Amino acid sequence: MSKPTLRERALRHLARRDYTRAELAHKLAPYGTDEEIGAILDRMGELSLQSDARMAENWIRSHAGRFGRARLENELTRRGVARELIENTLASEALANEPERAYAVWQTKFSAPPADAREWARQARFLSARGFAAEVVCAVLRNPPTHTEGESETP
């Protein structure tokens, strides 16, 4: 049985999930030269088999419910997506209101507002680590909604 070609390796990776050009180049690096990998990636792009824009859109769509804007940006930057593409994708995706998303994330982890400063700090660290801005974290922890989904605001 012969070794898979560089093209076959790239197709196998892309069949599992979308990769950025940088991620795919890194995965293929042990198996070819930079020129060979560049040619394969150029061809994959021409055939629309690999697209940084599509990967960014899909990644944001699947992770926006768990992360804040800063974390989404950092993760995409780490994966090799261009800054301009990240900004355009975040602007074009219909992301829910950042405080609403932060509250939803907070509610999955915590059932009650912080009772003391130590608990407030713990909950704030949790939301900050998820990529929510400090003002959003403060707004969620200082004024958590008093009703739950499906529950009427008036008795």
91-150 confidence digits (pLDDT tens): 887 666 888 889 999 999 998 888 899 999 999 999 999 999 999 999 999 886 654 454
Maximum distance among all alpha carbons in the chain? 72
Q: Is the pLDDT of residue 80 over 70?
A: yes
Alpha helices in the chain (DSSP H): 6-16, 21-28, 34-46, 52-63, 69-78, 83-92, 98-109, 117-129, 134-142
**For the chain, what is the mean pLDDT?**
89
Two structure tokens written together for 100: 């609403």
Which pLDDT score is estimated for 97?
A: 83
Which pLDDT score is estimated for 145?
A: 62
Note if the pTM is more than 0.95: no
